[in-house]
Chains A and B, each alone.
Chain A
Amino acid sequence: MSQALAMDESERADSIRLIRESAAAVAPRGGDLRRIRALRFEEPGFDPAVWREMADLGWVGLRVPEEKGGAGLGMGAFCALAEELGAALVPEPLIPAALAAALLAADPAGEAALGQVLGGRLLLAGWQERADTLEAPGSLDAPRLFVPMAAGAEGFLVPVREGGRLTLRLLPREAADLAIDQTQDGGNYGTLRAAPDFTGGKLVAADLGGALDAALDEAALATSAYLLGAMEAAFAMTLAYLKTRQQFGRPIGSFQALQHRAADLKVQLSLTRASVEGAAAQLDAGLTGAARRAVVSRAKARAAEASMLVTRQAVQLHGGIGYTDEYDVGLYLRKAMVLANQFGSARLHRKRFMALSPEAVEE
């Protein structure tokens, strides 16, 4: 790895600490989810005013190099931010918007649009042509599926295979043939249809090269960090409940069967944190190629599986109250149901990890 790419360790630690502190602006610690509840199942699924605030804080361009108008921070900082947002179940679509910013930063032709995106114009990438994939064939006219929070998008970025290259086309919202499906967390997925194909959009990158693959990996890792934050918060709620809920004359957390279950969940949380933070550190240290993709897959496979386990068990350990919609713990389960498979399911990432890391385990 090159020295130029590698970040200074103490600088990196500082940026992570600072971004966690600034996250409190929209992701207050302490678990008040009334704002999040009020936004569910109503389009666009998030608060445009909060979205602008997030853009003003410089978060959309957190990973965009400084010379392109971004903050030029590392994956460690991005993951720390995503984790804080996950703990508070913040619905504003930072991770998909950051993906769009990364694509626009890949080519000088995207400069004007990038400036708008960093300023809060919500453009979202419609790259996905089937479920559970990280590949973007760039078909001319295949519908683009599962665009997160598309109901609030002001435009779409569509990768298109043209003349052997993957170009990027910008489609304004008014020109888009868009269908919206609600998601279990109260947000939505958009399906974007071509009319008649996607080459009508403005060209904002003549050649994406490997930028899309790299940006999808960063989105997958940031999603892992978001899930980590969400499962930590669900686990904290559950632990508090185990200590206070009384049945049979004692706190239910005094029953050994439940203690062991809680301990198992803690193990999964620790594995997820080690995997996600380790991957972010390795990316910041300049890891590239197959090794980069492999650590991302490791983190996402773990985060997807562990977040579903922890949030399922959080409901179970709460008993009946956990199954009500008015009690908050279910909100974490519903979030995990949507994000566990976004930017690749555990199954996809396990397969990809093995394909990328065929060498035997070191003893």
Chain B
Amino acid sequence: MSGNTQEDLNALDDEAFRRTVRAWVEANYPPELRNPPKRLHWAENSPWYFRLAEKGWLAPGWPKEFGGMGLSPAKQIILIEEYERHGVARTNDHGIVMVGPLLIQYGTKAQQERFLPPILRGEHIWCQGYSEPNSGSDLASLRTEAVLDGDEYVVNGQKTWTTLANDANWIFLLVRTDKAAKKQEGISFLLVPMDSPGITVRPIVNLDMHDEFCEVFFDNVRVPKDNLVGEPNKGWTMAKALLGFERIYLGSPRQSAYALVRLRLLAERMGVWEEPDFADRYARLRLDLEDLKALYETFVAQLRRGERLGPDVSMLKVIQSELFQRITEAMMDIAGENAGLLEPMGGNRDLHPSGLFINARPCTIYGGSSEIQRNILAKNVLELPG
């Protein structure tokens, strides 16, 4: 359908590719969805999902034979940079980002043929069942279990922080299939339809009063054994292999850059922009942002060269999430009583210190908390004992 376009894209040099992406995004992205203050639900972001699907741009990283764009890492990064620049919202993209790569790498041909096309058509909306109430930072201790009974697994347990489970019709699960093995070695990957009898979804309202996350309960849910991906008990290894790209995505300077622009607008509105104490604080944040961008670029350059990212990429997420938080804390400090308002000041979405402050809170918790990222730096980069 758009095979020629994709070949042309791969042949373009980086700058020409960037211009092509920019022009198309500006012409096609729904303007009312730029920089949404909250994660969008499927009902809101599906028009954009279908527009990407129609263009053939839905799966930049998938090889072409599976319906992807087959872009090089360098071009994928440019694509992401252009989306961020324009304030393009994330879609319900777990099928694209997680399930697709999982099945392309580890799935059977039958699984690939069954599951990949519905993702590209926007028929299967996936969510990720990893965390559990007692297994957050210590994910490998997860206890939701799947027991083989004839040709089916019987699943019991509970997942939590399941992003947009209330939009999804499929979930990919990490489940315990061997309780006797070492905790990382008894885990498998299982694909489960959300309309299976025994599944209950309960949205969780967050501090931003939004139901982005859900709890998902499994009560004797029967799943055909063909829905297991790869070998049994190898789920942990596969899950770790899928994490590479997420780790740099969460370190992208985009949130901090977005917030810093709003900090300046707020400072001007509050009449403190010219004040020396504020100017120094702003300068510090601005320099932190510029240096974060420079550091981010060094990791991006590794990907461009086709290298695998090492554990030191953990520092990106620590710096970016904590910088984002510090910028929003500066907003709260200068906003006076406006810091306590629930809604944007005067209805202007760019002036909403409390909203951004709350949005910045979970960034040091999800995707590996700052504490876990620092553990990785200490143990795997610095090789400290313990």
Contact = CB atoms under 8 A, between A and B. Distances in A.
Contact of A326 (B204, B339, B366, B371): B204
Most chain A beta-carbon contacts within 10 A, residue among B131, B336, B361, B366: B336
A324 B332 contact: no
Contact of A320 (B136, B358, B374): B136
Report the interface size class on chain B: 35 or more
B385 to A, nearest CB: 13
Interface in B308-352: 329, 332-343
A183 B209 contact: no
Given A189-B341, A319-B136, A320-B131, A334 B371 contact: no
A13 to B, nearest CB: 34
Contact of A337 (B138, B343, B354, B362): B354
B45 interface: no
Nearest to B374: A257
Contact of B342 (A132, A183, A308): A183
Given A183-B342, A184-B342, A189-B341, A320 B361 contact: no
Nearest to B138: A247
Nearest to B386: A256
A24 interface: no
A124 B333 CA distance: 25
A247 B175 CA distance: 18
B256 to A, nearest CB: 17
Interface of B: 131, 134-138, 141, 160-161, 204-207, 209, 213, 270, 277, 329, 332-343, 354, 357-358, 361-362, 364-366, 369-371, 374
B337 A319 contact: no
A323 B206 contact: yes
Contacts of A185: 340
Interface in A144-179: 145-146
Closest CB pairs A-B (n = 8): A132-B336, A131-B336, A338-B340, A146-B337, A247-B138, A182-B342, A325-B205, A183-B340
A181 interface: yes
B302 to A, nearest CB: 28
28 contacts: A41-B342, A130-B336, A132-B336, A145-B337, A181-B343, A182-B341, A183-B340, A184-B342, A189-B337, A189-B340, A247-B136, A247-B141, A248-B138, A308-B329, A308-B332, A316-B364, A319-B137, A320-B136, A320-B362, A320-B365, A323-B361, A323-B365, A325-B206, A333-B207, A333-B361, A337-B354, A339-B340, A347-B333
A246 interface: yes
Contact of B339 (A130, A257, A337): A337
B343 A182 contact: yes
A320 B134 contact: no
A324 B270 contact: no
Contact of A341 (B209, B337, B343, B364): B337
Contacts of A316: 361, 364-365, 369-370
A121 B370 CA distance: 49
A338 B341 CA distance: 7
Contacts of A342: 337, 340
Given A183-B341, A325-B209, A341-B339, A131 B270 contact: yes
Interface string A181-202: 1111100010000000000000
A132 B269 CA distance: 13
Main secondary structure of the interface of A (DSSP, over half): mixed
Given A182-B342, A183-B342, A341 B336 contact: yes
A339 B357 CA distance: 15
A265 to B, nearest CB: 15
Contact of A257 (B134, B335, B362, B371): B371
Contacts of A345: 333-334, 336, 339
A164 to B, nearest CB: 28
Contacts of B135: 247
Contacts of A257: 371, 374
B48 to A, nearest CB: 27
A308 B358 CA distance: 12
A331 to B, nearest CB: 10
B369 A319 contact: yes
A81 interface: no
Contacts of B337: 128, 131-132, 145-146, 189, 341-342
Contacts of A114: none
B333 A326 contact: no
B137 A247 contact: yes
Contacts of B343: 181-182
